[in-house]
Amino acid sequence: MAQIIDMPKLSDTMTVGTLVKWLKNEGDVVKSGDMLAEVETDKATMELESFFDGTLLKQFVPAGGQVEIGAPLAAIGKPGEKVDAPAGKPAAAAPAAKPAAPASAPAPAAVTAPTPAPVAAPAAIAPSPSPLAPATVGRVRISPLARKLAEEKGLDYSRVKGSGPHGRIVREDILAAAKNPPAPASAPAAAAPKSAAPKADTWPWRSVMDKSPVQADSVAPLSNMRATIARRLVESKTTIPHFYLEIEVDTAPLSTLRNNLNAGLTKDGVRLSVNDFVLKACAAALRAVPAVNSSWDATGIKYHSAAHVSFAVAIDDGLITPVIKDTDKKTVFQISAEAKDLGKRAKDKKLAPAEFTGGTFCVSNLGMMGITRFSAIINPPNSAILAVGTSVKVPVVKDGAIVIGERLALTLSCDHRVVDGALGAKFLNALRDHLENPALLLL
């Protein structure tokens, strides 16, 4: 009897997965532990492991196909064994639009769809708002010349639509895109200057003399990640009663401490960011005001014994919130190293599900992009999220005189079902006290 491999649940919020690429072909011998396929969830692209020994008898889903959790992906058994796809959970067929499948993958037309007739129309199969859109991850078809041109122009060609055969991006597409760049999902920090004073040859924006159209009229298919972001944020903003509290922190002591540490420990590879201290301070504040370290649940308010602070990382086409487990138990240096590693792997879409789930509080920081203050949307099931701006030099009154001071705006978005105004204020006070006495964060 052949073993049927189903689409596993690879993240908390996953409802469908995209079979990006088969790593084993029908007829291949597979051993337990071998990687069978690459699966894209709403969060990351992961490898699907075999737990059986045998021969890969059948692939029920072509590369590019979107599959509901629990739907059959493949059968493993003895060579020559007959397999029928188990009825009841038909996998969604490959999207009608051509997926960005690798050249080595079987052509979608040549792959048989699961044999049992689906009982429901395809529309009814779709279990979530995730559309049957082609995944945009995986191999991009692009001519060698077009790739070279894109690299020379610093253009992200994964967002360019190809006009060549099979959607291949060719030179014309890159030249058109260079004249008319697609809006990046998230401008990289480096591209955002702190000051907008134009300097010769350093103007990072489109020329004001450029009279070409704003951009081409087009419809970008939703990636799994984009669809998930849309669904979860609408859910958050429409079901959680948000309110916002803001506090200003004097960051002069923190700047001094940070500069001293970075200067003295450069040779040791230490380079602490403001955000590393903010993460540590949040953990300390959660310990001081533990009622914020909680979640609303239909059965009651869940209080969490551990403080796991997550932080938002902008990546291509979206964002993700990696978690620093037991943030309160880690030093600023450990937090800094871990945040760097998680941030880098998040951008490569290489995070394991355990690394971006289970957070109890979240930090979103746009300070490095020059934003002074903003309010964030709560990341359920957290009961609050902290929005961090940039520290600015401002005139402040000290001992009756106006002097130059340094201030950082922190905005807390609270779920009013769990965190009332006084509780949120208490938390922000604790947070401010820790940041203004940053030596405590080193203990």
Partner 1 sequence: MPLITYREAIRHALAEELERDKNVVVLGEEVAQFHGAYKVTEGLLEKFGPKRIVDTPISEAGFIGMGVGASMLGIRPVMELMFWSFYSVAFDQILNNAANVRYMSGGLINCPIVIRGPANGGTNVGATHSHTPENVLANHPGVKVVVPSTPYDAKGLLKSAIRDNDPVFFLENTILYGDKGEVPTDEYLIPLGLADVKREGTDLTIVTYGRCVLHSLAAAEQLQKEHNISVEVVDLRSIRPLDIDTVLASVAKTHRVLIVEEQKPFSSVGSQLAFMIQKESFDELDGPIHRLTTVDAPAIYSPPVEIEQLPNPQRVIKAALEALA
Binding segment for partner 1 (CB under 8 A), chosen from 128-136, 166-174, 227-235, 346-354, is 166-174
State yes or no: residue 302 binds partner 1 (CB under 8 A).
Answer: no
Binding segment for partner 1 (CB under 8 A), chosen from 163-171, 204-212, 362-370, 386-394, is 163-171
Q: How far apart are CA 169 and CA 158, in angstroms?
A: 9
Q: How far apart are CA 68 and CA 55, in angstroms?
A: 24
State yes or no: residue 76 binds partner 1 (CB under 8 A).
Answer: no
- Choice from 37, 48, 75, 146 touching partner 1 (CB under 8 A): 146
Pick between residue 1 and residue 103 the one whose CB is nearest to partner 1: 103
**Contact at 8 Å (CB) between 154 and 243?**
no
State yes or no: residue 154 binds partner 1 (CB under 8 A).
Answer: no
- Choice from 168, 373, 407, 416 touching partner 1 (CB under 8 A): 168
Shortest distance, CB of residue 255 to partner 1, whole angstroms?
47
CB neighbours of residue 386 within 10 Å:
24
CA neighbor of 343 nearest in space, from 178, 117, 189, 219: 189
State yes or no: residue 435 binds partner 1 (CB under 8 A).
Answer: no
State yes or no: residue 98 binds partner 1 (CB under 8 A).
Answer: no
- Choice from 80, 154, 165, 269 touching partner 1 (CB under 8 A): 165
State yes or no: residue 300 binds partner 1 (CB under 8 A).
Answer: no
Applying CB under 8 A, the site for partner 1 has a residue count of 11
For the four alpha carbons of 302, 305, 309 and 310, in that order, the dihedral sign comes to negative
State yes or no: residue 148 binds partner 1 (CB under 8 A).
Answer: yes
Q: Is 6 exposed, middle or buried (0-12, 13-18, 19+ CB in 10 A)?
A: middle
- Choice from 29, 145, 196, 265 touching partner 1 (CB under 8 A): 145
- Choice from 9, 171, 271, 287 touching partner 1 (CB under 8 A): 171
Q: How far apart are CA 65 and CA 128, in angstroms?
A: 15
CA neighbor of 203 nearest in space, from 185, 213, 188, 191: 191
Give the C-alpha distances (Å, rounded to integers) separating 317 from 135, 158, 180, 193, 229.
12, 10, 18, 22, 10
Residue labelled with tokens 């188990």: 86
Pick between residue 145 and residue 189 the one whose CB is nearest to partner 1: 145
- Given the residues 166, 242, 416, 434, the one annotated as active site: 416
Shortest distance, CB of residue 170 to partner 1, whole angstroms?
5
Query: Which residues lie across from 401 on neighbouring strands?
Result: 398
Catalytic residue check, 304: no
Residues 6+ away with beta carbon under 8 Å from 186: 314, 315, 316, 319
Shortest distance, CB of residue 106 to partner 1, whole angstroms?
20
Binding segment for partner 1 (CB under 8 A), chosen from 111-119, 137-145, 235-243, 412-420, is 137-145
CB neighbours of residue 46 within 10 Å:
22
Pick between residue 145 and residue 234 the one whose CB is nearest to partner 1: 145
- Choice from 116, 131, 164, 370 touching partner 1 (CB under 8 A): 164
C-alpha dihedral over 427, 433, 437, 438, to 10 degrees?
Answer: 20
CB-based burial, 289-303: b 16+ in 10 Å, e otherwise: bebbbbbbeeeeeee
State yes or no: residue 143 binds partner 1 (CB under 8 A).
Answer: yes
C-alpha dihedral over 342, 345, 346, 347, to 10 degrees?
Answer: 130
| Binding residues among 342-361 for partner 1 as defined by CB under 8 A | none
Pick between residue 171 and residue 347 the one whose CB is nearest to partner 1: 171
Binding segment for partner 1 (CB under 8 A), chosen from 167-175, 202-210, 232-240, 354-362, is 167-175
State yes or no: residue 102 binds partner 1 (CB under 8 A).
Answer: no
Angle subtended at Cα 365 by Cα 359 and Cα 370, rounded to the nearest 5 degrees: 175
Shortest distance, CB of residue 161 to partner 1, whole angstroms?
16
Catalytic residues: 416
* Interface residue list for partner 1 (CB under 8 A): 143-148, 164-165, 168, 170-171
